[in-house]
Structure 1
Amino acid sequence: MLWGFGAGIAAAFVLAALEFSTALINREFFNMGILSVALLAEIIFFLLAWGVLAPKAPVFHERIWNGINFLMLMALLLYCLPDILLYPTEFVMAGESVFSTDFLFKLIGYLGGLFLIVLTGFALSKVGRSLSFQLVRILLTAGLAIQLANQMAMMVQLLLARRIIPMSKGLFALIKPVINHQEYFLYGVLAVTVALPLVLWRKSLNPQETYANPAQHRKIRAAARRQRRWCTVVLAGYVLAVLNLTVVKAYEEREVVLSPAEPMTISGQEILIPLENISDGHLHRFVYTASDGTEVRFIVIKKNEAAFGVGLDACDICGPTGYYERDDEVVCKLCDVVMNISTIGFKGGCNPVPLAYTLRGGTMVIQTQNLENEKNRFQ
């Protein structure tokens, strides 16, 4: 198992490096191959664990066990670990620097997540070694069976996508909820394996070992306390995992509500906005109702003492999703890209579509015809 663990990690690093630096790796075909190996290894593992496949020669039996453990661990790690290793490459957008607070926070969260996984997994193994073989075998079988079902659905999805097996409405309807609710499989594994620390915790409260003197009794109680500590680590890791996948994820992915439109004056074919209302350096949003009833949004922000950034509340890439202000930065609501405020009013990238304006005394003047010409963007 240790050799499979090490080989899986080493191979995952190599695969991640090749995928990042070359175009040699087709992950779709690669995943089909590695999933096939993992599925076969898991099925043989079940047969061996429950005595269905039991060669008479003990040496031959042990070699099969060793080979299956090696293949199963290596395949499972090689299937899921490359994406985790490549995840930090998404922390920095084009043109951004790694020497930033944002990148530092993301890196801390990433490393903290890996540490939580390793610590929880190690604690779970310590808990399992303190319990009976029969209980661990049952729960391990159940946990692997849940993953096996998930992997089979992923394999069917790959085969359908490549038309290796014919498309079937019934088959597609069967795997659709599996694909859309991947997190349920993780919840299932957590629900099964949480029995390990719960059973050991209860067992540690009333140790059954006999002792001949107080020193041995203290040793037994100390061992029980260590067991409860490992149980606490597992339970804490599971609680943090569930909170991250539910509460924290919901908070992070909550929809940003755009600020309401501010008042403005329309005089003939001109929109008039007093400069005193838009000179605080913050984002201001306005809405013009076009001749066909379409609401055309535009934003204004003061860039410096001599210029304003004026543009539609839309861009050529993300469409009319809009922009919002976060920590004195202007951010695209759809792609979360931070705008360089000094470039607002110029074309390019995810910048707002420029909108012409003039200054007349203490007033910004925008022609309504320019907004009429752009109304199709907001339909």
Structure 2
Amino acid sequence: MAQSNRWNCKTKGALAAAILLLAGFTAVAQAGWFDGIFKKSPVEIAKSAGVVETADAVKIPLTALDSGKVLFLRAEMGGRPLYYFALKISDGAYRVAFDACDGCFQSNLGYRQEGDRMVCNKCELAFPSVRIGEITGGCNPRPLALKVEGQYLVIQKGDIAAGKNYFPGNQS
């Protein structure tokens, strides 16, 4: 009987430890701490968002931007990956810009979104998303021209290709 109770105590302790470990892992994952490890590539993100490429344009469904979260994208032009992003800002307007700025582009680090602010991953300068396209230079992202056609936000591939100098290295 004593042997059985000892085994039950060890089993219960191990089960409790496993549950706590699983709960901790789940909490950390929900907090987004593993995003850098399990992050989808821009190509996977674009595909799941319904982005359509034609010979001369990239078409992003407006519904893919309804959440206000930035949609990071990648275009392969002349053997060089070019990175850009699109979002719907708080006033309902759409913005598209290169994932690079005049000041820090050579680092190939781009931006991240924190709430309604964009943050340069190199110098940590943060600014409201509503400034994208209105203020240029310095650490502000270089805007891209866009059109809304029906249910799509349309970006011309020629405009994307014009930003090739913002991506000097082979960013992966």
Q: CA RMSD in A?
A: 1.9
Which structure 2 residues correspond to residues 38-49 of structure 1 after superposition, within 5 A?
A: none
Which structure 2 residues correspond to residues 204-223 of structure 1 after superposition, within 5 A?
A: none
Q: Which amino acid aligns with 1:301?
A: L
Q: Which has the higher contact order (CA 8 A, sep 6+)?
A: 2
The CA deviation at 1:259 is: 6.3
Measured against aligned partners, the alpha-carbon deviations of 1:220-247 in whole angstroms (never above 9, x if no partner) come to: xxxxxxxxxxxxxxxxxxxxxxxxxxxx
Using the aligned pairs only, state the percent identity.
Answer: 29
Aligned match of 1:278:
65
Which of 102, 106, 109 in structure 2 is aligned with 1:316?
Answer: 102
Q: Sort the Cα spacing of 1:267 and 1:302 in 2 relative to 1 into closer, same or farther, 3 A.
A: same
Contact 1:282 1:301 in 2 (8 A): yes
What TM-score, normalized by structure 2, do the two folds share?
0.65
Aligned match of 2:13:
none
C-alpha distance in structure 2 between counterparts of 1:282 and 1:337, whole Å: 19
Which structure 2 residues correspond to residues 158-237 of structure 1 after superposition, within 5 A?
A: none
Contact 2:66 2:88 in 1 (8 A): yes
Contact 1:278 1:302 in 2 (8 A): yes
C-alpha distance in structure 2 between counterparts of 1:315 and 1:259, whole Å: 23
C-alpha distance in structure 1 between counterparts of 2:90 and 2:151, whole Å: 16
Aligned match of 1:357:
146
Structure of greater Rg: 1
Contact 1:357 1:365 in 2 (8 A): yes
Q: Which amino acid aligns with 1:296?
A: L
Unaligned runs of 5+ residues in structure 1 are 1-255
Aligned match of 1:268:
55
Which structure 2 residues correspond to residues 330-341 of structure 1 after superposition, within 5 A?
A: 330-341=118-129
Which of 82, 101, 107 in structure 2 is aligned with 1:296?
Answer: 82
The CA deviation at 1:283 is: 1.3
Aligned match of 1:37:
none
C-alpha distance in structure 1 between counterparts of 2:79 and 2:65, whole Å: 26
C-alpha distance in structure 2 between counterparts of 1:305 and 1:334, whole Å: 28
Measured against aligned partners, the alpha-carbon deviations of 1:176-196 in whole angstroms (never above 9, x if no partner) come to: xxxxxxxxxxxxxxxxxxxxx
Residue 371 in 1 paired to residue 157 in 2?
no
Unaligned runs of 5+ residues in structure 2 are 1-34
Q: Sort the Cα spacing of 1:286 and 1:349 in 2 relative to 1 into closer, same or farther, 3 A.
A: same
Contact 2:98 2:141 in 1 (8 A): yes
- Specify which structure has the higher proportion of strand: 2
C-alpha distance in structure 2 between counterparts of 1:349 and 1:364, whole Å: 26
Question: SS of the residue aligned with 1:330?
Answer: strand
Count of residues paired in the alignment: 123
The CA deviation at 1:284 is: 1.2
Q: Which amino acid aligns with 1:268?
A: A
The CA deviation at 1:360 is: 0.3
C-alpha distance in structure 2 between counterparts of 1:327 and 1:304, whole Å: 11
The CA deviation at 1:305 is: 4.5
Measured against aligned partners, the alpha-carbon deviations of 1:112-150 in whole angstroms (never above 9, x if no partner) come to: xxxxxxxxxxxxxxxxxxxxxxxxxxxxxxxxxxxxxxx
Aligned match of 1:150:
none
